[in-house]
Amino acid sequence: MHRSIYRLVFLGALVFFALNGGAFAQPRTINDAAGRKVTITDTSRIVSIGGAVTEVLYALGLADKIVAVDSTSTFPEAAKQKANVGYMRALAPEGVLKIGPTLILAIEGSGPAEAVEILERASVPYVVVPEAKNAEGVLRKIRFIAEAAGVPAEGERLASAVREDFAALGHALKGIKQRRKAAFILSMGSGSPIVGGAGTSADALFKLAEIDNALSAVSGFKPASDEALIAAAPDAVVVMSERDHAMPPEKVFSMPSLANSPAAKTRNMIGLPGLYLLGFGPRTAHAARDLAAALYPEANIPALPGRSWTAAASGGEAKAK
């Protein structure tokens, strides 16, 4: 009798751990993007820092394990309903830890450094996720997040589907006969506009979309001088379409340094949501296709096959303003 009861309890425990294996997994150690060895034992309460990290977790079917996100996590829409720990580059350790996470996944570049140092020393595993600026980097990011979350098989399936999207993108862009150049403007204040030069995520997306960066002479996200903008002479200006980043064409093309550019003459200004445009997550091939379609309308670039994680792409296709 007692043996039967013990056996039932044992079998019940096996079922419990089988159903919750992603949360109470065998301890495993991974090497993160900061070169640290981090041991993970529990993925039941994840704080996701970085819009692409959150997007990948949702695409992996792990929405229920996410207890908080950062302010760049704007897709899918459901992510906005999660607790928010603030901007990824202005983290407050106490705000992150009070959520009670069992795992913190933070995109490379999160900060400030002092906050990251405190979080790395906390008892909760803090894992730095590698950033990506090309197709292979996106696949690596997906596999890394899946491994950290304890679902490597799901990560491989997602990576395989995204790889197919990038292959379809390459085929779709074959209709482009002559490359054009564009300038990415991150923001405009009272001084010179902040633009996306060489080495930036904007520059990387331009490469995927078969677009030349008119401001490749600039390095990083930096203010551009009037001389640099005049010399750039872009065929289009690309901006983020969110309300806090949106810039009216009248303001952009009224700048003397752009007023006589080919983009100003045709009022060719293209807006895309920031995370979609610069996040380098599962939807990146679609973002590159939309950007190319807006700049090369005569090429009739076909849409890529729809995916469950792209069906509600924030803002839809790029629009020329």
Query: Which tokens go with 31?
Result: 């090497």
Taking 90 as the threshold, does the pLDDT of residue 6 lie above it?
no
For the domain with range 177-320, which CATH number is right: 1.10.620.20, 3.40.50.2300, 3.30.450.40, 3.40.50.1980?
Answer: 3.40.50.1980
Q: What are phi and psi of 39, to 5 degrees?
A: -95, 130
Task: Please report where in the chains the tokens 């670039």 appear, as a residue.
Answer: 301
Domain ranges of the chain: 21-150, 177-320
User: In this predicted structure, what is the pLDDT of residue 26?
Assistant: 74
Would you state the pLDDT for residue 33? 98
Q: Cβ(78)–Cβ(127) under 8 Å?
A: no
Note the pLDDT tens digit of each residue in 82-115. 999 999 999 999 999 999 999 999 999 999 999 9
Cite the DSSP H helix spans in the chain: 2-19, 51-59, 93-97, 113-121, 135-149, 152-172, 201-208, 226-232, 249-253, 262-266, 274-278, 284-295
More confident residue, 320 or 287: 287
Residue 274 pLDDT: 95
Query: What does the mean pLDDT of the chain come to?
Result: 90
Q: Which two tokens stand for residue 303?
A: 């849409």
Which top CATH class is 21-150? alpha beta
Phi and psi at residue 158, in whole multiples of 5°?
A: -65, -45
pLDDT above 70: residue 151: yes
What is the pLDDT averaged over residues 129-140?
A: 98
Question: Do 21-150 and 177-320 agree at the fold level?
Answer: yes
Q: Which of 208, 207, 227 is nearest to 218 (CA)?
A: 227
